[in-house]
Amino acid sequence: MRAYPECIPCLVKQGLNAAEKLNLPKEKLYEVAKAGVRYLAQFEEFDRSPAYYAYHIQKFVKELTGVEDPFREIKRISNLKAEEILNKLNVEEYLKGDRLRRALKLSAIGNILDFAILSEEEAYGKILQLLEKDFAIDHSEWFERELETSERVLILGDNAGEIVFDKVLVKVLKELGKEVVYAVKGAPILNDATLEDAKMVSLTSLCRVITNGNDRVGTDLSVASEEFLNEWQRADLVVSKGQANFESLSGIGDKVIYFLLTAKCRPVVLESGASKVGDLIFKRNKPLEGGN
């Protein structure tokens, strides 16, 4: 999707939010905001995805901290908290009846929570509450149908913490006999999961984990590694997690992609066809032929 006008101030704000999480002093926050407006001021057209611009703005945060992985500690805490919460949840009980759809929902809910900010108790409470919620866009029947004739599923991961809940989805897909490959970022960007996170939460012992070979926000195929593009080609189905991946891949039509996310702003609500911010979405990139 193309950036909306309202994405422009939001992108600057995102840079500031990141800087605030890292406790940068006020003078550094001014620098981040200035770098943001100066970067955006150069464009005549905003025809790229919000994730594309977000990547460049987040680079200023890296530069200003002088640290290659400023979110490392935040990611570690998120993983730990999410693991605790997953252990506390009675997952097998929850999955009963409709294992695949429920695993998908748990994965989408993982996308809504900021594990670094919420206490374990708060996050746990929110999850129980959100599990009651239905997908606002639910293409899980199409997904199940296509899965029957599919062998390889590529999951595009999003954040640390969230990655823990994706393990349930990986397990359920594997029970169905699918070969699952999970892709993380090739280098640190924001709080996105990297190989380090995949190892930390033992995702690597569940399925093959690859990286996309770069540190972009979302998934930009034009800068992806050969290994990633190879898996992308081979996959029968792609499950794309989170808003940034949706932003960068929603325009792709020559691959079957199911977007699994929580809509966090009005532009994504509009582009996805959801009805409001906070909606859980499981949406095929285009209608399934012969599906209804």
Chain residues binding a second copy by CB under 8 A are 4-6, 8-13, 16, 26, 29-30, 32-34, 36-38, 40-41, 43-44, 46
Nearer to a second copy, 13 or 88 (CB): 13
Nearest distance in Å: CB 242, a second copy: 22
- In whole angstroms, what is the distance from residue 223 CA to residue 62 CA? 20
Nearer to a second copy, 24 or 261 (CB): 24
Nearest distance in Å: CB 188, a second copy: 23
The 10 Å Cβ neighbour count of residue 276 is 9
- Chain-centre distance for alpha carbon 254: 21
Nearest distance in Å: CB 121, a second copy: 23
DSSP result, 47-105: -S-HHHHHHHHHHHHHHHHT-S-TTHHHHHHHHHHHHHHHHHS-HHHHHTT-HHHHHHH
Nearest distance in Å: CB 88, a second copy: 32
Nearer to a second copy, 44 or 93 (CB): 44
Nearest distance in Å: CB 71, a second copy: 19
Nearer to a second copy, 190 or 193 (CB): 190
Strand 257-262 to 280-284 pairing: antiparallel
208 pairs with which residues across the strands? Answer: 181
Nearer to a second copy, 34 or 199 (CB): 34
Task: Outline where the chain has alpha helix (H).
Answer: 7-21, 26-41, 50-65, 72-88, 91-95, 99-112, 120-130, 140-148, 162-175, 195-200, 226-234, 243-249, 266-272
Best CA proximity match to 244, nearest among 61, 53, 88, 94: 53
Burial pattern 233-257, b for ≥16 Cβ within 10 A else e, equals eebbbbbbbbbbbbbbbbebeebbb
Nearest distance in Å: CB 191, a second copy: 20
Phi-psi region of 242 (alpha: psi -120 to 50; beta: other; left: phi over 0): left
Nearest distance in Å: CB 164, a second copy: 31
Nearest distance in Å: CB 35, a second copy: 10
How many residues comprise the chain?
Answer: 292
Nearer to a second copy, 3 or 198 (CB): 3
Best CA proximity match to 56, nearest among 41, 78, 71: 41
Nearer to a second copy, 61 or 123 (CB): 61
Nearer to a second copy, 18 or 156 (CB): 18
